[in-house]
């Protein structure tokens, strides 16, 4: 089973009940790797471990895994998914990207939509953005609440705290049913985001990545910063923790997330299904039949 040596993840863990100031967390690569080459080696080792653990997870079908990625535009979520989960069996790993809710989805409770994409036992689901947008972009742009058709007098001023409470209860229920949850906030600096946006505007092969919304949302940088800090402080729990991942160096963010995921998955008491005597007998009979042809 897992062979990679994992480092201490506690500096990136948001402790439950503590105030979060993102200025206290670095956005640049940490000291765990001497250089990019060393990080890439660690990434390959963790991908190998993750691949083996996921194979047993799928076979045993005893646990489910939910991984949530949040972060500013251009923080590297798509690339992280592509690199970290490159070796897993696509039959047992599904990635969902959450865009704006459609007309049907806004008529339901905001947790109705993600409920349809939760992992079954034996599966890994990766949410590239998630239901947390309901306390992020909707908080920065409260006009989006209009489409959710609240009764007169609602929502009240406590809507965000109520949504935090709903999320925590929702995730606790998932954990009770053997779904393990890991949540990663990709912590990108405003300077690095500017650099990546300019690359999208000047390099022809990256033009397709640019959206007018990128610049529009960047104008609300401070509002998003406050929304993220509040979200992280109120929804990092013992059962579903948040990790703040330095994201200015993509190679580092990928290596760190892979290390955390591989360590958490490898720590589960995973095992291949055990056969009873009757099943073993049938296997032996099938083997004899094939050998006698």
CATH code of residue 46: 3.40.50.300
Measured in degrees and rounded to the nearest 5, phi and psi for residue 31 equal -90, 0
Does residue 4 belong to any structural domain of this protein? Answer: no
Note the Cα 226 to chain centre separation in Å: 20
Between strands 93-97 and 64-70, the pairing is: unpaired
H-run or E-run covering 69: strand 64-70
pLDDT tens readout for residues 243-282: 999 999 999 999 999 999 999 999 999 989 888 888 888 9
- For residue 194, give the 3-state DSSP assignment: helix
Write out the two tokens for 290. Answer: 């094939």
DSSP 244-275: EEE-SSHHHHHHHHHHHHHHHHHTS---PPPP
In the predicted model, is pLDDT for residue 18 greater than 70? yes
Domain that holds residue 268: 10-291
In the predicted model, is pLDDT for residue 46 greater than 90? yes
pLDDT tens readout for residues 194-245: 999 999 999 988 888 888 888 999 999 999 999 999 999 999 999 999 999 9
| Domains identified in the chain, total number | 1
At residue 1, the pLDDT reads: 45
pLDDT tens readout for residues 158-188: 999 999 999 999 999 999 999 999 999 999 9
DSSP 92-150: GEEEEE--S--TTGGGS-TTHHHHTTPPPTT-EEEEES-GGGGGTHHHHSGGGGGGG-P
CA distances from 127 to 104, 182, 231, 289 (A): 20, 10, 17, 46
Rounded to whole angstroms, how far apart are CA atoms 169 and 60?
27
At residue 3, the pLDDT reads: 58
Does residue 272 belong to any structural domain of this protein? Answer: yes
Note the Cα 183 to chain centre separation in Å: 5
> Percent of the chain having pLDDT more than 70?
98
In the predicted model, is pLDDT for residue 123 greater than 60? yes
Does residue 254 belong to any structural domain of this protein? Answer: yes
């Amino acid at each position: 089973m897992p062979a990679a040596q994992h480092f201490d993840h506690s500096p990136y863990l948001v402790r439950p009940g503590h105030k979060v100031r993102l200025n206290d967390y670095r956005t640049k690569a940490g000291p765990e790797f001497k250089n990019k080459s060393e990080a890439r080696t660690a990434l390959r080792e963790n991908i190998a471990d993750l691949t083996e653990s996921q194979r047993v997870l799928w076979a045993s079908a005893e646990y489910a895994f939910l991984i949530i990625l949040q972060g500013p535009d251009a923080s590297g979520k798509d690339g992280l998914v592509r690199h970290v989960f490159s070796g897993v069996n696509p039959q047992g790993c599904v990635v969902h990207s959450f865009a704006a809710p459609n007309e049907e989805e806004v008529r339901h409770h905001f947790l109705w939509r993600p409920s349809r994409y939760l992992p079954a036992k034996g599966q890994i689901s990766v949410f590239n953005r998630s239901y947390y947008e309901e306390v992020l972009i909707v908080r920065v742009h409260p006009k989006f609440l209009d489409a959710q058709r609240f009764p007169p007098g609602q929502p009240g001023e406590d809507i965000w705290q109520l949504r935090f409470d709903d999320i925590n209860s929702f995730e606790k229920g998932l954990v009770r049913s053997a779904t393990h949850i890991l949540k990663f906030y990709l912590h990108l600096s405003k300077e690095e985001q500017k650099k990546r946006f300019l690359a999208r505007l000047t390099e022809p092969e990256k033009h397709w990545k640019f959206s007018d919304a990128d610049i529009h949302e960047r104008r609300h940088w401070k509002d998003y910063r406050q929304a993220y800090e509040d979200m992280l402080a109120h929804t990092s729990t013992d059962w579903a923790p948040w990790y703040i991942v330095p994201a200015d160096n993509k190679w580092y963010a990928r290596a760190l997330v892979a290390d955390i995921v591989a360590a958490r998955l490898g720590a589960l008491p995973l095992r291949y299904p055990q056969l009873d005597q009757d099943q073993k007998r049938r296997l032996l009979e099938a083997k004899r039949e094939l050998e006698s042809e």
